[in-house]
Structure 1
């Protein structure tokens, strides 16, 4: 018996992946996207590629405009020779059901295939380049002909019950930054002993956000048209 693929749609927020799983109203999705974009703009306003500052400023901003933070976690996880999909599954762990993991894999596959939406792919890759940093690693791999690139990305997944799971992950690649990192084992752990996974579970307080919605839209201004991209969407059942 073949299971129907759950409804989902993917957006990029200034190059960061946001995935809605299940049926959500358009106003709810707009509130999540706009408030997340404001958090993103706040996190990059200091012109810093510090992973810790990017995360702290993002969390602080969304927490002030209606995101109710239920839990936060900082940890270091080894993930040698993995793709981004597997690292996200590892980072979110038991927070994702088997069906949600399958939907995540399907969504990543759809994102990779969006050749007709090259601006989205460019946005994703540009963000990884922007977030690149110098990693103080313990050793350099012998025989390596290419310097590793260390960078980070943040992914937000909204489950069918409107829970918001946000994961920031830092990793390195010796094969350059390309779209294949989504599903090919090209990523490795940065050997610096530092935190490489930042996780937050939250929800949107609609009543609180309603009081700041107009302010959020005003603050993000035209970035709402340039930095929010809908990339892929699951097909509706016939």
Structure 2
């Protein structure tokens, strides 16, 4: 029996098996990813934030699935190299937005009325908590965040959760990880970087591939909205991102 899209199971098994390959490539240990994931869900479920309780996180996924899939919306995933022309063009059609971490910052550079329209179209952000100002603004605005745990971002997600808890309206959260384990209350839709993970999430939810567009996605240069990063390593990560998008069959 197939599982419902709200379980966020990977569109392809390959999207999870590739995680072992990039861990091996970078010399990372899955136990570190698992530790961060378990600590994240523990922190969330002891936070006392009503919106972050497990049943409400499940309801958040269901609400997003209805908005993106049942209403048959086109989806544009904003990558770190997004420019204002691409973003403005996307807003000219009935398209919902998904921001890969700090790419949400591009919205704030739009004229005020256009920016507010873009924020209203932002279905969610996908973040491992290092996207900087764009991510922080989205969180402060109460935009849904798919918050990801991996082995070396625990200090980052701790800081972002402090911002989220202090927001006027704490954002709805969905928790993701990149381990081979089943972690109740968390999901592994596959992927590696925030950009390709956003595509994995969209397809796990059931968005047809022909309704997904990748904007500002570039495997040859580090985009403006990448946040704090080491350029040489980031370029290698972008090659893995390209491999995952090709596995999905998504053009970029």
Q: Report the TM-score, using the length of structure 2 for normalisation.
A: 0.30
Write 1 or 2 for the structure with the bigger share of strand: 1
Flag the structure with more relative contact order, 1 or 2, with Cα contacts below 8 A and sequence separation at least 6. Answer: 1
